[in-house]
Amino acid sequence: MADTEKKDMGTGSVKKWMLNLAVPAVVAQVINLLYNIVDRIYLGHIPGIGALALTGVGLFAPILMLITAFAMLAGAGGAPRAAIAMGEGNREKAEKIMGNCFAVLMILAVFLTVVFLKFCPSLIRLFGGSDATLPYALEYANIYIVGSVFVLIVMGMNPFITTQGFARTSMLTTVIGAVINIVLDPILIFGLHMGVSGAALATVLSQAVSAIWILCFLLGKKTNLKLRLANMKLVPSVIGPCLALGVSSFVMVSTESILSISFTSSLARFGGDVAVGAMTVLPSVTQLVALPLNGICQGGQPLISFNYGAKKLDRVKEAFFCQFAVCVSYTTVFWLLLMAVPQVFAGIFTSDTALVSYAAWAMRIYFAGAFSIGFQISCQQAFMALGQAKNCLLLACLRKIILLIPLIFILPNFFANKAFAVFLSEPVSDILAAAITTVTFFRFFTRMLRDGKEKEPWNNA
């Protein structure tokens, strides 16, 4: 792997490229997983207030997801476009794409900070915050929102490092931030007795260091695509296709915010505080499934995009099927573990016995269809890598907006145990969405492989 980052992704062993790109990306995502959940682990174990603090921070999750979604709008949309441009041999275009995406991120940073600081209390009340949990939610939220510019840089610009083939450098972005966060959390939360504020401050400081790392790399000598001030002037013909492609990722992440609101409001009504607390645990476990899959697909994306731009469709095919097999295998194994020992996963996040027991019960229902997630993510992310904006958007809307959100409110009408019905909506939508996405992708992929050499890569974008 020592010199892989300098080679042409259109040559050499596809499997070796996948390994060299995906392993660092998966490691980064696993570390990012720690990054995302370590606050909750520490908060959930604060003596006396752990359950309330954990629930309060969980209520901030919809806003956190929206910040991430806006970062993905530019990053996840721009990085594949840049890779396709590099595959076409157009480095200047790739750099313009990156510069425009960075400018959008800075505009979003100012806008989101102002809006969320103003409306955060009202929003958290809307999400189901009570008098007991609201203070903890606001304590975390105010600090995190002020530092959201760093989150946007990390989430939005790190994909541009990965898409160049610098997988280990991209991994270090996450490693550096995660290590700092993990070290600072116990010091600030327990050592300096800052509690929830300490958890938020640790996250902001770690993200700031990661953001500086990214900017130093993209402004330095090692990068193939350099971040230049001249490329930050927004050009509709450059930024438009990036945002169009990024909309699917934006929808995927932002609808998690709507889902969180739908779940917590319904569970507060049918199951009370313990059900809302369980819903704070379940998304954290979902990340145990989803983030490694994202790492695998992040490894596959540059390879698929570059070779699609270069019209080397045999290599595109090989890369996708390698990605698909690993994703499906991983989710199947994880699903078996979740079904066998859910209490182990619940116990990671809280020491409250009542919450562990309820969360373990809910987990077997909520994750009953988790084996299908590998099909869904591998196919949907391949659409993204191929620049298929319309298909990505439709499939992103399918699972959450068309299926899951309505099911959260419809299924309780047909079951006596209404909390059970709310949790059941997740596996029903998982399985249906995975089946539709997989069939749709393979129909498109077969046609693309048959006719693709006669088409320009941007035609179906």
d(CA 370, CA 331): 7
Token pair recorded at residue 30: 């696993």
Q: Averaged over 43-58, what is the pLDDT? A: 72
Q: What is the pTM of this model?
A: 0.68
180-220: pLDDT as tens digits? 988 998 899 888 888 888 988 998 999 999 999 999 999 99
Residue ranges with strand state E in 265-370: none
The percent of residues above 70 in pLDDT, for the chain, comes to 92
Residue 399 has pLDDT above 70, yes or no: yes
* 129 phi/psi in degrees, rounded to 5: -65, 135
Residue 390 has pLDDT above 70, yes or no: yes
* 38 phi/psi in degrees, rounded to 5: -65, -35
Q: Averaged over 170-185, what is the pLDDT? A: 87
Location of structure tokens 């007991």: 132
230-287: pLDDT as tens digits? 999 999 999 999 998 888 778 777 877 787 778 877 887 888 778 877 887 887 788 7
Q: Measured in Å, how far apart are the chain's first and last C-alpha atoms? A: 33
Q: Is 221 exposed, middle or buried (0-12, 13-18, 19+ CB in 10 A)?
A: exposed
Confidence band, pLDDT 50/70/90 cuts, at residue 2: very low
Token pair recorded at residue 394: 């439709």
Location of structure tokens 């939005």: 156
Q: Averaged over 147-151, what is the pLDDT? A: 93
pLDDT of residue 310: 82
Which segment of 110-114, 362-366, 371-375, 453-457 scores lowest on mean pLDDT?
453-457
Residue 225 has pLDDT above 50, yes or no: yes
Residue 6 has pLDDT above 60, yes or no: no
Residue 7 has pLDDT above 60, yes or no: no
Q: How far is CA 102 from the centre of its chain?
A: 19
Residue 383 has pLDDT above 70, yes or no: yes
Confidence band, pLDDT 50/70/90 cuts, at residue 458: very low
Q: Residue 207: which of 35, 356, 54 has the closest Cα?
A: 35
d(CA 452, CA 456): 8
Q: Averaged over 22-38, what is the pLDDT? A: 73
Residue 117 has pLDDT above 50, yes or no: yes
Cβ atoms < 10 Å from Cβ of 455: 11
Residue 430 has pLDDT above 90, yes or no: yes
d(CA 448, CA 455): 9
Q: Residue 156: which of 232, 209, 228, 214 has the closest Cα?
A: 214
Which segment of 59-68, 86-95, 155-164 scores lowest on mean pLDDT?
59-68
pLDDT of residue 400: 82
Which segment of 121-130, 306-315, 363-372, 395-404 scores lowest on mean pLDDT?
121-130
What b-and-e string marks burial along 155-165, b requiring 16 or more CB atoms within 10 Å of the CB?
A: bbbbbbbbbbb
Token pair recorded at residue 121: 């209390």
Q: Residue 358: which of 40, 55, 39, 43 has the closest Cα?
A: 55
Confidence band, pLDDT 50/70/90 cuts, at residue 179: confident
Q: What is the mean pLDDT of the chain?
A: 85
- Tell me, what amino acid is at 122? S
Confidence band, pLDDT 50/70/90 cuts, at residue 459: very low
Helix residue ranges per DSSP H, 310-341: 313-340
